[in-house]
Structure 1
Amino acid sequence: MARVVELAYYPVKGCAGSAVREGVLTPAGLAHDRSFMVVGEQGVYRTQRRDPRLALIVPTIVDGGLGLTLEAPGHEPVAIPVDTTGPRRDVDLFGAAFLGIDQGEVAADWLSTVLAAPSRLVRVPPEHRRVTDGRTPGTSGYADSCAVHLLSLSSLDLLNAKLAERGAAPMPMDRFRPNIVVGGWDEPHTEDRARRLTLGTAELGYAKLAIRCAVTVVDQRTGERDGPEPLRSLAAYRRAREGGVAFGAKFAVLRPGTMSVGDELAVGAWGGTEL
């Protein structure tokens, strides 16, 4: 029986996540997931691809979303009142133009110091109307693409077996930054074929495979790159038709609701693999 074994959301794109026992699934994914983003002076998003030290920043949503705290090793924590009404500024996410609400000088100064580069923090505005692609369209905040990233334990077990064959160390789940981790699927990559999922009171629709990038070579505990794994091993058996390597799957929200660790996951429709 497939069940949810981990839930996590990532308040600030590229920064550390928050593990939770239960969560509210909104049309844009788990509540507060990727609702903030760090940008450079020109409004271009920062990512662990270029700024791996983002992994060391631990954001925490407080007061039901009215506040945000930021912590990082060697730096004093900072508390930020969340602005949801201020002036909008242009931001760039993968070359697409969106808007963000700037969160002020305190956040900007702190992030610029931690990352050693001029940075600002923006929040998704209430009128954000992003449409994501894939087999099932949906919406999301500042996530790379779709609202929900799901990965199974059996998929990670297979990857770690492949790594062991190469004499490489096993990878922890946090390298892949999933929102939902599923246990109980004996066959690796079962998530590739699940087209409609029900868990808790929520329902998800399959959008596409998760194509992996260089973020997976960043150690989430040290904020340093230690590649070429896992990309090298994934390239040997998980090459996707459209290019790149696939690991996990992306889903859009068909029905918002609540979910908890331990919830049974029911598959309402299956499809074929897209590899």
Structure 2
Amino acid sequence: MTTDTGTALRVCALAVRPVKSLRGVDVASTSLDRLGPRGDRRWMVVDDDGDTVTAREVPAMLGLTATPLDGAIELSAPGRASLVVPEPHGGPRLDVTLSRVGWATACAPEADAWLSEALGRRVRLVWLDDPARRSVSTDHGGRPGDALSFADAAPVLLTTTASLAALNTWLADERGHEPLPMERFRPTLVVDGDLEPFVEDGWARVQVGDVVLRFAERCDRCVMTTVDLDTLRTTKEPTRTLARHRRFEGKVWFGVRLVPESAGVLTVGDPVVPRA
């Protein structure tokens, strides 16, 4: 499959992030349905009031990894013993304040203790029993029937290597800054090929292999992108440079949010066909 210009585009990276705001893992393939990648953002860290705890306020969360397993996740961090956390089917309900959820299922106390010790503050881990209970907001391009996990706004985030290359050129030329990794932007899938930077902003739909995804909105970027993934310290980039080149409507933008219109398997190397 090719674009209208005859240039082949392909998926060069896929990632699944089971726990909101924790690091996920790169995968060679992932099953996708109307809810998004299987197991993606089905878990969330909250405080005692049920308020979501994210890496915006606690950058150390990006030093913890959640790996998907069959019916469970594995939590890991440098210098710590890992912990397997089963899906808490039938567990107690915990009220949460994340929009359009209401409640989630509490996990075992061992998971709460592991995360609390790792983050240096009391937190709890919860699981979303059925992502169909939550919808994509119409403010973020949602339509009736669009379902959402604990993700911020849409089931899938797409970025392109061309857009990152442009950003890294700006960073080098204007700031003398080293290149930033794509992981700063936490995409679900990354598209590689001979593209103009940020052309994805104008894609109405994208076919990836046999799966079709609908454009929901461009992705505005928050302070999470400024966390150095090695030091876990907040920096000024890429927000400062994006503000010079990609600032409009009072926000900075990188990547696009998508909603699946069909189910299937996404695989690294799949052909990508965008449609304007």
2:147 is the counterpart of 1:139: yes
Match of 2:15 among 8, 23, 26: 8
Match of 1:214 among 223, 247, 254: 223
Match of 1:154 among 162, 178, 197: 162
Q: Give the deviation of 1:81 after TM superposition.
A: 2.1
Q: Give the deviation of 1:78 after TM superposition.
A: 1.4
Q: Give the deviation of 1:130 after TM superposition.
A: 1.3
Contact 2:184–2:227 at 8 Å: present in 1 too? Answer: yes
Write out per-residue CA displacement over residues 96-139 of structure 1, whole angstroms, 9 at most, x where no aligned residue: 55321111200001111001111010011126421113335322
Write out per-residue CA displacement over residues 34-93 of structure 1, whole angstroms, 9 at most, x where no aligned residue: 11001111111111110101111111222x2x2221111222211222212212211122
Partner of 2:124: 120
Kindly indicate which of the two structures has a greater share of residues assigned to strand.
1
Contact 1:24–1:259 at 8 Å: present in 2 too? Answer: yes
The verdict on how the C-alpha distance between 1:127 and 1:203 changes in structure 2, with shifts beyond 3 A counting, is: closer
Match of 1:43 among 31, 41, 50: 50
Partner of 2:5: none
Alpha-carbon distance in structure 1 between the residues aligned to 2:131 and 2:89: 10
Superposition pairs of residues 113-262 of structure 1, within 5 angstroms: 113-126=117-130, 128-133=132-137, 134-137=140-143, 138-165=146-173, 166-225=175-234, 227-241=235-249, 243-262=250-269
2:41 is the counterpart of 1:34: yes
Q: Give the deviation of 1:224 after TM superposition.
A: 2.2
Alpha-carbon distance in structure 1 between the residues aligned to 2:239 and 2:86: 39
Structure 2 unaligned spans of 5+: 1-7
Alpha-carbon distance in structure 1 between the residues aligned to 2:131 and 2:151: 16
TM-score, normalised with respect to structure 1: 0.92
The verdict on how the C-alpha distance between 1:203 and 1:61 changes in structure 2, with shifts beyond 3 A counting, is: same
Alpha-carbon distance in structure 2 between the residues aligned to 1:46 and 1:185: 39
Q: Which amino acid is the alignment partner of residue 108 of structure 1?
A: D
Alpha-carbon distance in structure 1 between the residues aligned to 2:248 and 2:108: 41
Partner of 1:81: 86
Q: Give identity over the alignment, percent.
A: 35
SS at match of 1:233: helix
SS at match of 2:163: helix
Alpha-carbon distance in structure 2 between the residues aligned to 1:19 and 1:127: 22
Partner of 1:110: 114
The verdict on how the C-alpha distance between 1:128 and 1:39 changes in structure 2, with shifts beyond 3 A counting, is: farther
Contact 2:20–2:43 at 8 Å: present in 1 too? Answer: yes
TM-score, normalised with respect to structure 2: 0.92
Write out per-residue CA displacement over residues 6-49 of structure 1, whole angstroms, 9 at most, x where no aligned residue: 00010100011111111111212111111100111111111111
Alpha-carbon distance in structure 1 between the residues aligned to 2:180 and 2:252: 16
Q: Which amino acid is the alignment partner of residue 105 of structure 1?
A: P
| Count of matched residue pairs | 264
The verdict on how the C-alpha distance between 1:206 and 1:67 changes in structure 2, with shifts beyond 3 A counting, is: same
Structure 1 unaligned spans of 5+: 271-275
Write out per-residue CA displacement over residues 121-175 of structure 1, whole angstroms, 9 at most, x where no aligned residue: 0011126421113335322210111000000000000000000012112110000
Partner of 1:273: none
Q: Give the deviation of 1:221 after TM superposition.
A: 3.1
Q: Which one is further off, 81-90 or 155-164? A: 81-90
